[in-house]
């Protein structure tokens, strides 16, 4: 029985094989659907970036509870700055690390208001200058809020990409950097969705369905696992 999570070790797939993998994913997975929404289903860049900040080390249900409570209090950077830090911390308590996240929310909002006129940056570099925002959140906001062609890498995309051999990375940020150069340009827009959908339907974390997988003949994990 094949299983396990795979990892970022060994040689990756050749560039021409990477292109074939994405071509097959494009034929078998739905990709970005018409009802795809921003992070945690938020309607604008500000709420998207705050939701991403809150999602760090938090389950989806807990993040959703924190997001709902926080945005009942304020939905703009200016309004958020009018709230006491303790009130923000109480609202976001379900998502964990709430004291640190409350500080980062206020620091982020202060940066937006003082340096950027309240507008969320539309570049990865600008987003990553915001307190509490790393590459994963930056790319998710770019993809969902600004409709940019970028493969955002969460834990699921990181696992699948390295298991197949699209990348050979030990961290999600390194996986993102490798996918940015190794994935064909035409695959950048939907690659995030294809890999997540593939990971949920076939390449599951503990018991991947290798025997019926349409990528088995190309997959590094399948070829090297007894």
Choice among 40, 101, 139, 154 that is catalytic:
154
Q: Is 190 a catalytic residue?
A: no
Active site residue 136: yes
- Residues 101, 136, 139, 190: which is the catalytic one? 136
Sorted by sequence, the CB contacts under 8 Å of residue 174 that are 6+ apart come out as: 8, 167
The residues annotated as belonging to the active site are 136, 154
């Amino acid at each position: 029985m094949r299983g396990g999570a795979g990892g970022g070790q060994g040689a990756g797939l050749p560039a021409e094989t990477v292109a074939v993998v994405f071509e097959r994913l494009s034929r078998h997975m739905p990709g970005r659907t018409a009802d795809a929404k921003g992070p945690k289903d938020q309607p604008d860049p500000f709420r998207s970036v705050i939701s991403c900040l809150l999602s760090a080390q938090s389950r989806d249900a807990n993040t959703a509870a924190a997001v709902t409570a926080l945005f009942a209090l304020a939905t703009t950077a200016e309004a958020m700055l009018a709230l006491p830090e303790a009130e923000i911390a109480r609202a976001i308590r379900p998502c964990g690390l709430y004291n640190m996240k409350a500080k980062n929310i206020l620091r982020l909002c202060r940066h937006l208001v003082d340096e950027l006129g309240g507008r969320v940056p539309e570049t990865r570099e600008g987003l990553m200058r915001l307190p509490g925002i790393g590459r994963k959140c930056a790319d998710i906001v770019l993809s969902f809020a600004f409709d940019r062609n970028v493969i955002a890498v969460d834990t699921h995309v990181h696992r699948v990409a390295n298991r197949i051999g699209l990348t050979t990375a030990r961290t999600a940020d390194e996986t993102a950097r490798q996918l940015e150069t190794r994935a064909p340009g035409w695959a950048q827009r939907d690659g995030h969705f294809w890999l997540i959908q593939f990971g949920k339907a076939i390449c599951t974390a503990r018991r991947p369905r290798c025997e019926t997988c349409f990528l088995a003949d190309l997959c590094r994990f399948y070829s090297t696992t007894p």
